[in-house]
Amino acid sequence: MTSRISVPRGVAHAAAAPEAVNAATLRTRTVHAGVDATPPVWPLSEPIAPGTAYAFRDPALADLRSAADPPEPNYGRDGLPNVRTLERAVADLEGAEDAHAVASGMAAIALIFLAHLHAGEHVVAFGDTYCEARTLLTEELPRFGVRTTIIDAGDPLVLPAAVCPDTRIVFVETIANPSLRLADLDRVAMVTRRHGVLLCVDNTFATPMLCRPLAHGADLVLHSATKFLGGHHDLIAGIVAGRRGLIAPIRRYGRLYGMTLGAMDAWLALRGLHTLAPRIAWMSDTAHAVAAFLQAHPAVAAVRYPGLPDHPQEELARGLLPNGAGAVLTFTLRGGPSAAAALIRTLRMIPYALSLGGTASTVCYPPSNQGDNRDGDDPAAAGSATIRMSIGLETADDLIADLAQALAALPTTEVV
Ligand SMILES: Cc1ncc(COP(=O)(O)O)c(C=O)c1O
């Protein structure tokens, strides 16, 4: 017998709105998030439990544990204790009833689609969605009979027009990678609620420290925990949080498709999470200073950072991201692609790296669906005058000094 377990339309918004929480409370909560402090004695750092098979004398007990929601440790693909702790922690910080952690951010995105879409249904996504999520939406979902409409996020009239009776999901990023455009979540949620459509928000760039999409009307919030949640360039993980009824099918399909997260990566992600608050606060301040420096430099044609007063969505940024605008910025060199390539090669401390969100600042060409340069070892071949920078934990002064020396080394023809 086959069973469909997706949530029927119409009940998508049944649960109560998530609680409001102030930034200071949230900061304290990151330190204790996920930890079970109810027994008389508990470890302050949870032991890593890699065991993937649990032993029983009574088989009935094994069945009971598998049937529990969330399942209790039994067989590894059903979920491991460290993974469960991470899930509790992220659910807490995002103000969600439950969460499900998986093997990567892309697995989290794919799983939302696998669990909540059926052939004949339709998704609306903002045009500046992370390139690989966009590939999934535009090239993979059609193979399963699901249509996607990509819209211009900047025009508020486009979304209501794009939603049709078959639309099941609207997919946006709080701060888009790499355009850094903000999604006006309250406005988008008004549309999704009106139409009984699930609003799924990729909150990777904002993290719950800067924005909690569920409090703005989202139904599901997801992260590439590979980035800021983990925060140390040493794990790959993804997580989805939301109401219990929406997470249950995600957990079931995660098990079916085998997207299980390992114990070690879950433990590392939780350890990262405990320092998320000071990291994000520091990085946002530093990003602000670096953006201001770049903006004033004659070799730089444009800087994009949601915290700058001239960001096109400055007013929205103040409302959506009151505690900081995040740690990613982009800048475009007047000298074009050759200047960008020269700058990257001349930086002494800041390396070129394809990921972001960790302790070390990095630069990279913005990911794109057109001529993605992921495989290009030669940055000059990529042809981009724009550089994406992820701010780490170095001081603003040191980062600015490195950028200044690399900008100063550009040939003057590249500067004008
Ligand atoms: C915004 C965003 N979402 C999702 C992902 C995918 O995450 P992962 O690399 O963990 O699969 C990325 C990766 O860069 C990203 O930037």
Largest CA distance in the chain: 78
Catalytic sites, residue numbers: 77, 130, 202, 227
Chain mean pLDDT for the chain: 91
216, 245, 274: which is the final residue of a domain? 274
Output 69-76 pairs: Cβ under 8 A, ≥24 positions apart: 69/248, 69/251, 70/98, 70/100, 70/251, 71/251, 71/255, 73/49, 76/51, 76/52, 76/260
Residue 1 CB contacts under 8 Å (≥ 6 apart), including other chains: none
pLDDT, position 4:
42
The model's confidence at residue 368, banded by pLDDT at 50, 70 and 90, is confident
Instruction: Kindly state whether residue 34 falls inside one of the protein's structural domains.
Output: yes
358 in ligand 1 pocket by Cβ < 6 Å? no
Instruction: Kindly state whether residue 1 falls inside one of the protein's structural domains.
Output: no
Tally of structural domains, the chain: 2
Mutation probe of ligand 1 site: the residue of 136, 171, 224, 362 with most atoms within 8 A of C-beta: 224
The CATH number of whichever domain residue 305 belongs to comes to: 3.90.1150.10
Instruction: Kindly state whether residue 12 falls inside one of the protein's structural domains.
Output: no
pLDDT, position 373:
42
Per residue in 166-200, pLDDT tens? 999 999 999 999 999 999 999 999 999 999 999 99
Q: pLDDT at residue 374 above 50?
A: no
394 in ligand 1 pocket by Cβ < 6 Å? no
Judge if 318 and 375 occupy the same domain. Answer: yes
- Domain enclosing residue 323, as ranges: 277-415
Q: pLDDT at residue 276 above 90?
A: yes
202 in ligand 1 pocket by Cβ < 6 Å? yes
253, 274, 295: which is the final residue of a domain? 274
The model's confidence at residue 22, banded by pLDDT at 50, 70 and 90, is confident
The model's confidence at residue 155, banded by pLDDT at 50, 70 and 90, is confident
239, 274, 309: which is the final residue of a domain? 274
Q: How far is the CA of 206 from the centre of ligand 1 (A)?
A: 13
- In angstroms, the Cα distances linking 23 to 80, 318, 322, 404 are 30, 15, 9, 34
Per residue in 296-329, pLDDT tens? 999 999 999 999 999 999 999 999 999 999 999 9
The model's confidence at residue 6, banded by pLDDT at 50, 70 and 90, is very low
Residue that the structure tokens 């029927």 belong to = 8
Percent of the chain with pLDDT over 70: 91
Instruction: Kindly state whether residue 286 falls inside one of the protein's structural domains.
Output: yes
Residue that the structure tokens 């669990």 belong to = 115
List the beta bridge partners of residue 100: 240
Judge if 263 and 321 occupy the same domain. Answer: no
pLDDT, position 323:
94
Residue 240 CB contacts under 8 Å (≥ 6 apart), including other chains: 99, 100, 102, 108, 111, 112, 220, 221, 222, 247, 250
